[in-house]
Amino acid sequence: MVASQDAKAFGELIRRHQSQVRNFLRKLARDETLADDLAQDCFLHVWDKIHTYSGSGSFIGWVLKVAYTTFLQSKRKSKRYHEILEQAGHETDRAPVAIQNAPETELDLDTLLAALNEQERVIMIFSYACGLSHREISEATDLPAGTVKSIIHRAKERIRTQFEIENHQYG
Amino acid sequence: MKSKIINMADKTSDAVDRLLASAFDAPPIADDGFSDGIISKIRRRIWVNRLALPVAILVGVAFALKPALQLINALLPLLNVMPVELASVPMQFMPQIQLIVMGGMAFAAGITLLKMLEET
């Protein structure tokens, strides 16, 4: 139904998946407004490319892959924009925008994510925030499933070491 | 002793899992018109795509009409220079040519109309 470019059915799909996509992008971008703009772009890309969805994997996995690609494209554009500004001699404000009035769990998440490198962060968000399987993450990031598994393991070890989880209240 | 170490490792792994699960846990985000905004953008885009070809044709015709008429006007005197037998050949086929052109245009318009009805 959606493949035949039915806007009404597509609206239903957006309603069903918007929360997960926006949550994913908010965690990646750390800026709610930017994340929502990216989510909008993501769904427009999904609309344009829906005919390429083979139906082999989960639909949300495929949508999150599009969301991740949209995020990377925006990041590249932003990087290029900052480079041009720097070349032009302007000062750039590259500090990430903090989420105001964020609940305590968000602050904990910031601390945890700060301990990880970019690749680990993305994969942990896919795994823990979106609940994707290793295979789905592998499809979304174009990494082998074994590599995904080892990155998750490495990230968990890093968190365990850095935050001394053995002595932590969770341990 | 060994099993105790393994259990400790498992317990540590579970603790990290629990910590991550609680840190990543987020309430669902309310739609609040988000999907409607995207759908209205998509609908606008569909209309733009639908109108793009007819508008492009109209603009093309508007631009090409004047030079085309000038070209025809410039070529018309050549008919007087041509031998009568040769000049009468296209005139013989003129009714058929007009019919073919009109038929082609009606066919193209019909296909465009059907496509628009199908997409609506």
B chain contacts of residue A124, beta-carbon cutoff 8 Å: 20, 24
DSSP 8-state symbol, A127: I
Predicted confidence (pLDDT) per residue in A53-111, tens digit:
988 888 999 999 999 999 999 988 887 666 766 666 654 444 444 444 444 444 478 88
> What's the whole-number average pLDDT of chain A?
81
Give the burial class of A119: count Cβ atoms within 10 A of its Cβ; 0-12 exposed, 13-18 middle, 19 or more buried: middle
Put simply, whether B18 touches A (Cβ < 8 Å) is yes
The structural architecture, per CATH, of the domain A101-171 is Orthogonal Bundle (1.10)
Cβ distance A29 to A125 under 8 Å? no
Q: How near does any CA of chain B get to the CA of A151, in Å?
A: 14
Q: Which of B21, B24, B28 lies at the smallest CB-CB distance from A19?
A: B28
The contacts of residue B115 (CB under 8 Å, 6+ apart) are: none
- Across the range A146-164, mean pLDDT stands at 90
In this prediction, residue B119 carries a pLDDT of 62
pLDDT at B117 over 80: no
Domain boundaries, chain A: 1-99, 101-171
Q: Do A11 and B46 touch (CB under 8 A)?
A: no
pTM score, whole prediction:
0.67
Query: Radius of gyration (Cα) for chain A, nearest Å?
Result: 18
Spell out the CATH class of A1-99: mainly alpha
- Whether A43 sits inside 8 A of B15 (CB atoms) is no
Taking all residues of chain B, what is their mean pLDDT, rounded to a whole number? 77
Reported as a single tens digit per residue, the pLDDT across B27-49 is 899 998 999 999 999 999 888 88
Mutate to test the interface with B, among A17, A37, A109 (most CBs of B within 10 A): A109
Query: Of A28, A75, A68, whose CA–CA distance to A46 is shortest?
Result: A68
